[in-house]
Amino acid sequence: MRKKLAQHVFRLSTIETISLNLALLAVYVLFGKLGLLFASVNPSATAIWAPTGIALGSLLLFGYRVTPAIYIGAFIVNLTTSGTIETSLAIALGNTLEGIVATFLINKFANGIRAFSSISNIFKFVFFSAVLGTAISATIGTSTLILGGYAVVANFQPIWFTWWLGDMGGAMIVAPLLLVWSQNFKIHFSFKKALYFSFSFLCLLFLTILVFSGIFPYVYFLMPFAIWVALTFEYRGATLSNFVVALIAIYFTLHGIGPFTRFRSTNDALLLLQMFLGVFSITSLAFAAVVSINKKNTQAIQSSDERFKALLENSFDAFVLIDATSRITYASPSVKNVLGYTPKELEGTIGFNLVIPEDRAFTVKELAKLVLKPGGTITIEYRVMRKDKQIIWTQATGTNLLLDPLVNAVVVNFRDITERKSQEEEIKKNEKRFRSLVEKSGQGIALLDKKGKIIYMTTTITELLGYTQEEYEKKGNSLMHPDDRKSVEKKSKEILNHPGASVSLQYRILHKNGTYRWFDVLVTNLLDDEALHAYVVNFRDITDIKNIEEEVREEKIEDEAMLNSIGEGVIATDKDGRIAIANHIACKLTGWTEKELIGQSLVKAVPMTDENGEKIAIKDRPLTKVLMRGKKTANSKSIYYTRKDGTKFPVQLTLTPIILEDEVVGTIEVFRDITEEKQIEKTKNEFVSLASHQLRTPLATINWYVEELLAAKKDLGTKNAHYLDQVYVASHRMVGLINALLNTSRLELGTFAVEPKDIDFVESISQVIKDLTGGVKEKQITLKKDYKKSLPISADPKLLGILIQNLLSNAVKYSKPKGTVTIKLSHNKDGYTFSVKDNGCGIPASQEDKIFSKLFRADNARSLDPDGSGLGLYIVKSILDAVGGKVWFESVENKGTTFFLSLPAAGMKQKKGERQLH
């Protein structure tokens, strides 16, 4: 109890207590004297006694420490009113006891100052304070007055009643006002609410005045307004309106106006008023209590509801409330994450619609079970279809709260477990696979006794061999392949007398279908094992493995046969260039055995030289380049491999990188000895050379004779002279063709020499122009010369002449009649650039890349000059390649072509060779 009091009783210092008492004393005396002003039945008994309320309120608020103020206050009021010190002391005692008893009872049974938190406490409050407490005061007070001789016994009843009702008014109107407003002093109305309060309060005020002023004397009209104020503004509204109504009512009643004043004395009227005010007060308090309690409850529910919602909405799970028919009454926002639907889309729908048809029946059944089990919980897993038609696995926990008044639903909490499910599925699948693997791998175990009789055998024997266990036992060892018997018997003996030893056997057993199956058998001697006393035989069918092994072996043989039947050397290397495979031919060509080659670095094991016999550095080896660049390559220049014995052979090779995931992991080199081809090529070229020489003699003869005839043109006649001209031109063309052929064969043999001399480039050009046969004059071509008078160069005069001649004759040949051929020559620190520009037919774009190849002639060139050799530009290019120059061109079809050739500043590189070009 102390504890309980301590909860709402302030701790005060002595001075504060005294000050409080003094203040209270003053208030008490003031209101006491005011009240007694209206005393009529007896000076000490008034119908309006506010101090009861003040006393009760302050006792409840401040505790019993204010007792002195109440007692002294009551004593002073009474003493100054009428009677002696004794009577005043007694009456004051009654007044004080009234408050103390009521306070005690209220604190104990009606939740003290929080009495207004429930309706029952309000009635307790009214009973303890307004009925019981006041009765004490009235009884003691009236008795004292009679005993003191201030009243007659006959008047006991009206005095007591007046006293009692007067105190009751104080208890019911003043005490609640003090209690309520002291605890809830702060007003934080909104403007709107303040306006509303003012309006309703003013309405009540106005009506009260109307009623009590007698203009409209129907008190019961006040009730709806009092209730309105109470409902709207609860205790504070109720207590305040009670107080104000009481003040107005008392004022008018005292003045003899109002509904209670007719036919009665002021005291009677006041008593009637007090009764009315009591009823009025308790009604409005009760309504305030209802609203307040309801509001509090609502708030409590709301806040816990909010918490609950927040919890669920923030949780990983989604949740729905469904009724017994699975209709969704509420869906948490997180359903959007799980199902793709918004809560609104789901609310009102049947929950089972989300479940995929295959799982619907069982979920319906589970829900039915749950519905029959109030408070029960189930957890099931099923699939639902999301809004996006994706099917997901969910795990749902349903709790039956249909009978819970707060919920009235089945709470279904669910989450997406698709990932987990798929993992499970994966595991299951693996397990299944594994099991089937074991089953299909055809393993089995048998236990044999000392004599080899089967004690136990797994049923797999039937699957493996087609026999029932009995059949197999009967046939026993007779099923073993005859070829395997000896070795099996021999090996089995090894473990006969060796407990713990085991032997591995492989042999064939006749299947019921007449074929032999290979078995891998492990026999362990566990005769000494206390639990087994047997040979343990683990067996498995390895026929398939045997077959595969056989296939692999055959394949390998095939591969080898293929590799070895290839007529070319094949060497495969790893990414470091070490030889991994070398076929028979590769060994034969290089002179090394396969064993010697494998594991060796190819570039070290097989040295490579160029045509001059100089060793090619490792960095320049095709293999190195392929490994670094990852591009297929074939040699274009002559290269030679060195055999084990040091001899060399010319080789044609193709190197292909093996690329795995963008990385070169190795190479395959295919190569062959081209000695013979080289010989054939040489013979061919020699033949061409010889044939060409022989052809020259008759041509030279024809030329010279024709020259002589032409020199005597006038004797021939115009027509004949013209014919002879044609003969001469054709003959010369033939000479040019033969020369080109000869040059080509020399270039290809690589035997031509380059012998630079200090010459004049310009002089060489002039020489070529002078020797130009045909074309320039006939076609009336203008030659534009764009160069200085002389330009020294170190060059082979013949080769330079061939270069200039080819470009110049081409330009003339392909120029249009009356065209212009521009010859340019320039020189700077980088070298010489010579160009010949024509305005002829040009080179078709599609054929530009072939223009320098042997025997190639552009389509339009062929139609212009069907007799061209197709060798000229090839020769130019070959010469320039050999002497360190370049040739290129710019061309627009039908507009013209410019050929450029460049030579290094140092001129032509010297090259030893057997032959010169013409």
Partner 1 sequence: MNVDETKKIVLIIEDEPPMLHILFDKLSESGFAVLQAKDGQEGLDTALAKHPDLILLDVLMPHMDGMTVLSKLREDDWGKNVPVILLTNVSPDGNDVIQSIVKTQPAYYFVKSDIKLESIVEKIHEVLSSAS
| Residue 703 near partner 1 by CB under 8 A | yes
Residue from 511, 827, 909, 915 that binds partner 1 (CB under 8 A)? 915
Q: What element of type H or E holds 502?
A: strand 502-510
Nearer to partner 1, 386 or 733 (CB): 733
Nearer to partner 1, 66 or 738 (CB): 738
Nearest residue to 24 via CA among 58, 48, 49: 58
Nearer to partner 1, 86 or 778 (CB): 778
Q: Report the distance separating Cα 783 and Cα 838, nearest Å.
A: 10
DSSP 619: G
| Residue 766 near partner 1 by CB under 8 A | no
| Residue 694 near partner 1 by CB under 8 A | yes
The CB-of-805 to partner 1 minimum distance in angstroms stands at 11
Q: Report the distance separating Cα 563 and Cα 326, nearest Å.
A: 75
Nearer to partner 1, 652 or 689 (CB): 689
Task: Give the rounded distance of the alpha carbon of 337 from its chain centre.
Answer: 15
Question: Which stretch in 463-471, 580-588, 736-744, 902-910 sits in contact with partner 1 by CB under 8 A?
Answer: 736-744
The CB-of-597 to partner 1 minimum distance in angstroms stands at 39
| Residue 704 near partner 1 by CB under 8 A | yes
DSSP 3-state assignment of 891? strand
Q: Report the distance separating Cα 142 and Cα 165, nearest Å.
A: 13
DSSP 3-state assignment of 398? strand
Q: Report the distance separating Cα 258 and Cα 677, nearest Å.
A: 146
- The answer to whether 487 and 468 have CB atoms below 8 angstroms apart is no
Residue from 742, 747, 754, 804 that binds partner 1 (CB under 8 A)? 742
Question: Which stretch in 452-460, 601-609, 697-705, 803-811 sits in contact with partner 1 by CB under 8 A?
Answer: 697-705
* Helix residue spans in 507-590 (DSSP H): 543-565, 584-590
Nearer to partner 1, 540 or 746 (CB): 746
Question: Which stretch in 176-184, 374-382, 474-482, 699-707 sits in contact with partner 1 by CB under 8 A?
Answer: 699-707
DSSP 3-state assignment of 59? helix
Residue from 707, 778, 786, 859 that binds partner 1 (CB under 8 A)? 707
Residue from 693, 757, 818, 862 that binds partner 1 (CB under 8 A)? 693
757 forms beta bridges with 795
Nearer to partner 1, 149 or 698 (CB): 698
The CB-of-736 to partner 1 minimum distance in angstroms stands at 9
| Residue 182 near partner 1 by CB under 8 A | no
| Residue 700 near partner 1 by CB under 8 A | yes
| Residue 767 near partner 1 by CB under 8 A | no
Residue from 171, 238, 409, 738 that binds partner 1 (CB under 8 A)? 738
Question: Which stretch in 50-58, 260-268, 789-797, 909-917 sits in contact with partner 1 by CB under 8 A?
Answer: 909-917
Q: Write out the DSSP string of 425-486.
A: HHHHHHHHHHHHHHHHTTEEEEEE-TTS-EEEE-THHHHHHS--HHHHHHHGGGGB-HHHHH
Nearer to partner 1, 443 or 766 (CB): 766
Residue 632 CB neighbours (<10 A) = 12
Nearer to partner 1, 300 or 691 (CB): 691
The CB-of-696 to partner 1 minimum distance in angstroms stands at 4
Measure Cα distances from 669 to 297, 300, 568, 587 in Å.
Answer: 93, 88, 10, 13
- The answer to whether 199 and 188 have CB atoms below 8 angstroms apart is no
Question: Which stretch in 209-217, 266-274, 437-445, 707-715 sits in contact with partner 1 by CB under 8 A?
Answer: 707-715
- The answer to whether 165 and 49 have CB atoms below 8 angstroms apart is no
| Residue 699 near partner 1 by CB under 8 A | yes
Measure Cα distances from 231 to 32, 178, 290, 408, 435 in Å.
Answer: 32, 19, 8, 30, 77
Q: Report the distance separating Cα 595 and Cα 134, nearest Å.
A: 128
- The answer to whether 62 and 20 have CB atoms below 8 angstroms apart is yes
| Residue 114 near partner 1 by CB under 8 A | no
Residue from 470, 662, 708, 758 that binds partner 1 (CB under 8 A)? 708
Residue with tokens 């295919």: 670
Residue with tokens 């061309």: 891
Question: Which stretch in 380-388, 658-666, 686-694, 799-807 sits in contact with partner 1 by CB under 8 A?
Answer: 686-694
The CB-of-915 to partner 1 minimum distance in angstroms stands at 5
Extract long-range pairs of 243-248: CB within 8 Å, 24+ residues apart.
243/173, 243/174, 243/177, 244/204, 244/205, 244/208, 245/204, 245/208, 245/277, 245/280, 246/169, 246/173, 246/277, 246/281, 248/205, 248/208, 248/209, 248/212
The CB-of-705 to partner 1 minimum distance in angstroms stands at 6
Size of the chain in residues: 918
Residue from 84, 397, 418, 916 that binds partner 1 (CB under 8 A)? 916
DSSP 217: -
| Residue 914 near partner 1 by CB under 8 A | yes
Residue from 689, 767, 826, 860 that binds partner 1 (CB under 8 A)? 689
The CB-of-875 to partner 1 minimum distance in angstroms stands at 14
Question: Which stretch in 66-74, 217-225, 700-708, 778-786 sits in contact with partner 1 by CB under 8 A?
Answer: 700-708
| Residue 918 near partner 1 by CB under 8 A | yes
Residue from 648, 696, 779, 785 that binds partner 1 (CB under 8 A)? 696
> What phi and psi, each to the nearest 5 degrees, are found at residue 751?
-105, 0
Between the two ends of the chain, the Cα-to-Cα distance in Å is 137
The interface mask with partner 1, positions 634-673, x = CB under 8 A, is ----------------------------------------
| Residue 735 near partner 1 by CB under 8 A | yes
Q: Of all residues in the chain, what percent are helix, strand and coil, respectively (each to 5)?
A: 55, 20, 25
Q: Report the distance separating Cα 392 and Cα 382, nearest Å.
A: 8
Residue from 497, 697, 718, 828 that binds partner 1 (CB under 8 A)? 697
| Residue 391 near partner 1 by CB under 8 A | no
Nearest residue to 815 via CA among 836, 834, 845: 836
Question: Which stretch in 164-172, 214-222, 604-612, 908-916 sits in contact with partner 1 by CB under 8 A?
Answer: 908-916
Question: Which stretch in 458-466, 617-625, 660-668, 698-706 sits in contact with partner 1 by CB under 8 A?
Answer: 698-706
| Residue 715 near partner 1 by CB under 8 A | no
Question: Which stretch in 115-123, 587-595, 693-701, 879-887 sits in contact with partner 1 by CB under 8 A?
Answer: 693-701
The CB-of-909 to partner 1 minimum distance in angstroms stands at 19
Question: Which stretch in 53-61, 195-203, 565-573, 691-699 sits in contact with partner 1 by CB under 8 A?
Answer: 691-699
Residue from 337, 459, 468, 701 that binds partner 1 (CB under 8 A)? 701
Number of residues interacting with partner 1: please give it, by CB under 8 A. Answer: 24
Nearer to partner 1, 657 or 736 (CB): 736
Question: Which stretch in 326-334, 373-381, 556-564, 696-704 sits in contact with partner 1 by CB under 8 A?
Answer: 696-704
Q: Which two tokens stand for residue 425?
A: 């599925």
> What phi and psi, each to the nearest 5 degrees, are found at residue 224?
-60, -35
Give the interface with partner 1 as residue ranges (CB under 8 A). Answer: 689, 693-694, 696-697, 699-701, 703-705, 707-708, 711, 735, 738-739, 742, 746, 753, 914-916, 918
